[in-house]
Amino acid sequence: MLMRNLFLATAAVVTLTADEGSAADLPRPVTKVPAPLPTKSWSGCYVTGGGGYGFWKETIGFSGTAVGRRAAGGGWFGTVGGGCDPQVSGSWVIGVLGDYDLGGIRGDVADASTLMA
C-alpha cells in the first residue's frame, strides 16, 4: 500500500511540474510583425485567343427512292481579343474590350435526286 501511494504521489508531482524543455544553446524564436496585406485592385490588361476545327455530316430522308438531302463540311475557326480595365476612384471600374472572330468552315449540300441518278 505504501509503494502504491508513493507511486501515485510521484506521478502527480511529475505531471503537475512537467514543462517544455529548452536548451540553453538554442535561440528563442523571433516573432515578427505580419506584413500589411496588399490593397485589392481590379485594374489590369489581358489578351485572349482561341480556336479549333469543326465538322458536320447530316443525312435526311434517304430510304428507298424517297427524296432526301445530304450535307457535310468542316473547317477552322478562331477568336482573338484583348482589353484593359482600370479601377478608378474606389470601387468603380471602367473597361475597354476588343475582339474579332474568324473562321473558314465550308460545306456542301446535295439533293437526293442528283445522288441517285
What DSSP assignment string belongs to the chain?
-HHHHHHHHHHHHHHHH------TTSPPPPPPPPPPPPPP---EEEEEEEEEEEEEEEEE--STT---EEEEEEEEEEEEEEEEE-EETTTEE--EEEEEEEE--EEEEEEHHHH--
Per-residue pLDDT of the chain (117 residues), as tens digits, is 788 888 888 888 777 666 666 566 677 777 888 888 777 888 999 999 999 998 888 877 756 655 677 788 899 999 999 999 999 887 789 999 999 999 988 888 776 555 554
